Amino acid sequence: MTKRQARQRAPDPAPAPAATADGPTIAHLADLHLGFRQHHRLTAQGINQREADVAIAFRRVIDDVISTRPDMVLVAGDLFHSVRPANPAILDAFNQLRRLRDTLPDTPVVIIAGDHDTPRSVETGTILRLFEAIPGIAVVVHEAKRLHFESLGVSLLAVPWAAVGAEQRPSLLPEADARHNILLLHGELAGLPRDYDPAEYGTPTLELSELHADQWNYVALGHYHVARQMAPTAWYAGSIEYVGRNPWGELQQEGELGRPGQKGWLLVRLGGPKPHVEFRAIPLARRHVDLAPIAAVGMDAEALSKEIAGQVAKVKGGIDGQVVRQLAYDVPRLVARELDHEAIREYKARALHFHLDLRRPESRREVGVGGTGGGRIRTLGDIVTDYLEQRQLTPGVERAKLVGLGRRYMEQVERDPGPVGST
């Protein structure tokens, strides 16, 4: 069946298979990003602190999964943050998954590859294959694959990132005679609220209608880092830690969903007209604290420094060891230069990371493009981002990292608070 034919069937979907009261329970995990590194602090063992934080979150997730004793564990992509993760991340993932299987020997585990752990070529090997050495773990990397678990009455269609982006997508339809049909997919659904972290240039997207969600007992999604229901039977599990380019946007969206600052996984119970989905938060190693933004119009350096000090002082539990951002708008270059940099250095020493984000007045930050045309005035940062998102890259260079690095450099130039290291 072609993609066009599959879409033509969408307006007349079959009802989801009738679920019984004794349906299986599923642990739905996604976007673990083991091996993620950020900031420059190291542990006593010489490991990047944020990498260690993500490893701690993964162990706590495994602990919680084991405590619930699900019938099946699904990992919806991006087990690792890169195709070639560091040895400590590989070892920790292997040990934790082996611990899961040793403790729950009758619980099958299915792992699909996401965009971060998908090789560029089908001929290139992937570290994900290592986990097939653990009995009871199935790994799907390049092509969609249908798996059957007879003891659970489950037919599972596993669709990794590469299959979603293929020229000919697989048919996303369930088996008509299966007792329970599950779709496991890593991909970007069109219309997601991604204003906080826009999808990369050229990212393939799926329309929600292409999932035929009402024909599945459950659709387990990965790629989007905020736990969110997309349809009565379809959910993104979200990431287990803040591993995206803009954690502050994630915090905002989690707050809008009633889960501010919470990461975790989903416990899904089949056995009714729609699945019962429970979000299970896990304690994180540290908080991400987004201080209230400051409107600095008319403030001199002394007043702004006092306002920043007041915001820091109000943080419940303090900023020590946390990841903190202070955003201030309309800060002229001269004011930024004369801030209390000694106090700012103290905040940086206390926090794991303190990001003082000073935005200069809009009229001074914008760069016009296109002469006197009536289009939107674009900032220099917009121009650099567009260029990096479309230029051809050297093999092995990750576009997301390159774009993020370019944006950080541009923000640093725009703030221009003084000599390097002063803020």
Q: Could you read off the pLDDT of 93-138 as tens digits, one per residue?
A: 999 999 999 999 999 999 999 999 988 766 667 899 999 999 999 9
Residue 63 has pLDDT above 90, yes or no: yes
Q: Could you read off the pLDDT of 316-333 as tens digits, one per residue?
A: 999 999 999 999 999 999
The pLDDT of residue 335 is 96
**What is the rounded CA–CA span in Å between residue 60 and residue 363?**
47
Residue 18 has pLDDT above 70, yes or no: no
Phi then psi for 337, rounded to 5 degrees? -65, -35
**What is the rounded CA–CA span in Å between residue 403 and residue 378?**
17
Lowest mean pLDDT among 17-21, 158-162, 175-179: 17-21
Residue 214 has pLDDT above 50, yes or no: yes
Q: Could you read off the pLDDT of 286-308 as tens digits, one per residue?
A: 999 999 999 999 999 999 999 99
Q: Which two tokens stand for residue 229?
A: 């229901």
The two beta strands, 25-29 and 264-269, are: antiparallel
Which pTM was predicted? 0.80
Q: How many CB atoms lie within 10 A of CB 231?
A: 17
Instruction: Decide which of 372 and 136 is more confident.
Output: 136
Q: Which amino acid is at 123?
A: E
Mean pLDDT of 263-285: 95
**What is the rounded CA–CA span in Å between residue 160 and residue 183?**
11
The pLDDT of residue 273 is 85
Q: Which amino acid is at 330?
A: D
Domains of the chain in start order, with CATH, are: 3-281 (3.60.21.10), 288-415 (no CATH)
State the pLDDT confidence band at 406, using cuts at 50, 70 and 90. confident
Residue 168 has pLDDT above 80, yes or no: yes
Measure the CA dihedral 276/32/287/359, to 10°. -110
The two beta strands, 154-159 and 145-149, are: antiparallel
